[in-house]
Homo-oligomer: A and B are copies of this chain.
Amino acid sequence: MASLPNGAAAAAAAAGSSGGRPVDKEVDFANYFCTYGYLYHQKEMLCDRVRMDAYHSSVFRNAPHFEGKVVLDVGTGSGILAIWSAQAGARKVYAVEATNMAEHARELARANGVADIVEVIQGTVEDVELPEKVDVIISEWMGYFLLRESMFDSVICARDRWLKPDGVMYPSHARMWLAPIRTGLGDKKMEDLDIAMDDWNLFVQDTQAYYGVNMNALTKAYRAEHEKYYLKSSIWNNLHPNQVIGQPAVIKEIDCLTATVDEIREVRAQVMLPISLEGARLSALAGWFDVHFRGSAQNPAVEEVELNTAPDEQGGTHWGQQVFLLTPPVKVSKGDSVNVSFSMVRSKENHRLMDMEFTYELHEFSGRKHPAITTKMYLE
């Protein structure tokens, strides 16, 4: 046999916790939390300057939200947000972390002289017990395309259990965006798919010739598996702004102070994306997010801070954007628009991954409407 080295297994697909069934905690730990137990991965996030600058500014430019206050950091990782909260004047910071990274967070709080303020608690925020309610919940919970990982569920749980009525969420708001783009990624993937199928066909011939077994019955299934892998799986990319060929649209807005799990379990939107570039090739849609730190109506921010993961000339974030290929690409012109119906639900096999469906329909400036095309996409 020889399966791929450890868990490339799960790199192919993670199973165990379905959308409907309750989540198997052991499976979830094996597949999800364990990633965050590595300093290598923590460092990757700590090196994301856009991310770091936004959280740093949000805390230190809004010190009144922290001075003398009680803070809860959900998923503290190496503890950076908890340490900043303490440095900004918090009286007490509860820093909750499920993985063994908790030990490192404790060590770091000590090394930075805030061990008396930052209390690191190893456990899930769903299970943790705090001795008091908190003034601020801070968390960096955003996954690819905002909702991958479904970690905001835990933030909602923390908020409902521990935030004071006049408490503040950091960040306070989040939005998902969709935009029409041009990219050569799809051409490469189509070529890879062709190569894979040519290779399969040779394999079918060889297996018949050398081993007397006809494998052709599986050709269709092999193609389907590979189409999913090459064409229907969203692709991580840091796009250049000039690849965006039309106007992005917001497809979801979340108020972190009031959102419920039911509100984020599914995302459905219908948007019209106007094309702004003459003679472009629409080859994909791209998705990204931004979050804002605005405080709350009762406790507004001194200075509002934004963390934006849109395509950016200065270079991107570790989130990049998610590219959803449209194959084959469509020739479009300025004045055309693309009507997109979008839905995203959690994968049945793993509630932290997403299954999407796009229906898109080109409306030419001339009035001509192209037939609608529907395609499934997977964010894994």
Known pairs A6-B10, A39-B225, A46-B203. 8 more at Cβ < 8 A?
Answer: A1-B151, A3-B143, A4-B35, A13-B34, A30-B31, A46-B215, A47-B203, A52-B211
Measured CB to CB, the closest approach of chain B to A309, in angstroms, equals 9
Provide the residues of chain B in CB contact with A250, threshold 8 Å: none
Q: How far does the alpha carbon of A151 sit from the alpha carbon of B3 in the complex, in Å?
A: 11
Q: Does chain B have a CB within 8 A of A29?
A: yes
Closest B residue, CB atoms, query A148: B2
Query: What 1/0 flags go to A1-31 for Cβ under 8 Å of B?
Result: 1111111111111111000000010110111
A9 touches B6 (CB 8 A): no
| A interface bracket (residues with beta carbon within 8 Å of B) | 35 or more
Closest B residue, CB atoms, query A207: B46
Provide the residues of chain B in CB contact with A43, threshold 8 Å: 200, 203, 222
Q: Does chain B have a CB within 8 A of A373?
A: no
Q: Does chain B have a CB within 8 A of A255?
A: no
Q: Does chain B have a CB within 8 A of A369?
A: no
Q: Does chain B have a CB within 8 A of A261?
A: no
Provide the residues of chain B in CB contact with A140, threshold 8 Å: 1
Residues of A within 8 A of B (CB): 1-16, 24, 26-27, 29-32, 34-41, 43, 45-47, 52, 56, 75, 77-78, 80, 83-84, 87, 104, 107-108, 110-112, 140-144, 148-149, 151, 200, 203, 207, 210-218, 221-222, 225-226, 229, 236, 318-319, 350, 353, 380
Q: A36-B1, A203-B46, A225-B38 are in contact. Are A9 and B10 (CB under 8 A)?
A: yes
Measured CB to CB, the closest approach of chain B to A322, in angstroms, equals 10
Provide the residues of chain B in CB contact with A83, threshold 8 Å: 213
Contact of A10 among B14, B80, B213 (CB under 8 A): B14
**Residue among A1, A83, A213 with max Cβ neighbours from chain B (10 Å):** A1
Measured CB to CB, the closest approach of chain B to A318, in angstroms, equals 6
Q: How far does the alpha carbon of A213 sit from the alpha carbon of B59 in the complex, in Å?
A: 14
Closest B residue, CB atoms, query A319: B2
Q: Is the interface of A mostly helix, strand, loop or mixed?
A: helix
Provide the residues of chain B in CB contact with A107, threshold 8 Å: 217-218, 221
Q: How far does the alpha carbon of A4 sit from the alpha carbon of B31 in the complex, in Å?
A: 11
Q: How far does the alpha carbon of A34 sit from the alpha carbon of B31 in the complex, in Å?
A: 12
Measured CB to CB, the closest approach of chain B to A226, in angstroms, equals 7
A41 touches B380 (CB 8 A): no
Q: How far does the alpha carbon of A154 sit from the alpha carbon of B83 in the complex, in Å?
A: 49
Q: How far does the alpha carbon of A20 sit from the alpha carbon of B12 in the complex, in Å?
A: 28
Q: How far does the alpha carbon of A216 sit from the alpha carbon of B26 in the complex, in Å?
A: 33
Measured CB to CB, the closest approach of chain B to A224, in angstroms, equals 9
Closest B residue, CB atoms, query A215: B108
**Residue among A26, A108, A149, A350 with max Cβ neighbours from chain B (10 Å):** A26
Closest B residue, CB atoms, query A105: B218
